[in-house]
Amino acid sequence: LSETSISVLPIIGLQELDVLRVEDTRTLKVFPSVYNFEYIQKVYLTYAYHCCAFKFPAKHNMLEHYRHQQFLQKLERDCEMLEEELEEGGEHGEPLVRKERSWDNEPWLTGNDTVQIWGPLQTAPSPFLQPTTPSLGPFGTFHQKGVTVGVGRRIHKMCGNLSKNYQEVLCSPAPDAFNPCEDIMGNWSLRVAVWLVSVLALFGNLAVIFVLLSSRFRLTVPKFLICNLALADFCMGAYLLLIAIMDA
């Protein structure tokens, strides 16, 4: 997707990417939620602020982060119930009969993506297991939904790591001092103060310049110095107004 003119990054079909390259794509201004990329490891983007989505996923998309946290809490409860059932049943006890749990209505999932939530499948080498992950050479590797299991075989999959740490994803270009992830003005009190000072500086100094230059009396040295000072303050107010607009 590098060197294209896309303005929206498609999500369907990219959930299982390991490496994503969207370099030299100036038209892509908004990066989607990182929770749409389940296996992502390396990302090469155009703008540094897009990498902030991986450093601070909660601030980048609060709605998707909330849904993700709700889904993880539900999984934790199910894992605790599963652990209790296994302890009660015993290792050599009767087979456990569990109620069917549906994940189709989960907003965080797309389709039947329950495999990646429970972590990778850990089993001993077996001729009944056939990997279904094709290698696409220079285009990377796409993860499939699971493995093909021989008929009559049972595989038990325990609860593992339920949450991917997106802060460990290698993202380039990384944010720096000139392209930070934080807002220009961190809190609302500072924003209100900047807007107030900038507006007062613009109108106040503009009024001073207008009064001094439209005066019937000749322009003396003190008046000239006051005009210079008012002009400098007017430029400072315009600069603060630009910062406030960029932060809005």
With respect to residue 147, please indicate whether it lies within any of the assigned structural domains: no
- Residues 131-155 have pLDDT tens digits of 444 444 445 455 554 444 444 433 3
- Residues 41-81 have pLDDT tens digits of 999 999 988 898 888 887 877 777 778 778 778 877 888 78
With respect to residue 129, please indicate whether it lies within any of the assigned structural domains: no
Res 94: pLDDT:
52
Whether residue 67 sits in one domain with residue 1? yes
Res 202: pLDDT:
95
With respect to residue 158, please indicate whether it lies within any of the assigned structural domains: no
Q: Using alpha carbons, select from 2, 64, 53, 59 the residue that is nearest to residue 28.
A: 2
With respect to residue 154, please indicate whether it lies within any of the assigned structural domains: no
Residue ranges, the chain, pLDDT below 50: 92, 96-138, 140, 145-158
Half-sphere exposure of 18 (CA within 13 A, CB side): 11
Cα 107 to Cα 35, 36, 66, 115, 132, distances in angstroms: 11, 11, 11, 16, 26
With respect to residue 126, please indicate whether it lies within any of the assigned structural domains: no
Whether residue 176 sits in one domain with residue 239? no
Long-range pairs of 51-57 with CB within 8 A, sequence gap ≥ 24? 51/171, 51/172, 51/173, 51/174, 51/175, 51/181, 52/175, 52/181, 54/166, 54/167, 54/169, 54/171, 55/167, 55/171, 55/175, 55/181, 56/181, 57/33, 57/166
With respect to residue 134, please indicate whether it lies within any of the assigned structural domains: no
With respect to residue 119, please indicate whether it lies within any of the assigned structural domains: no
d(CA 212, CA 75) in angstroms, rounded, equals: 72
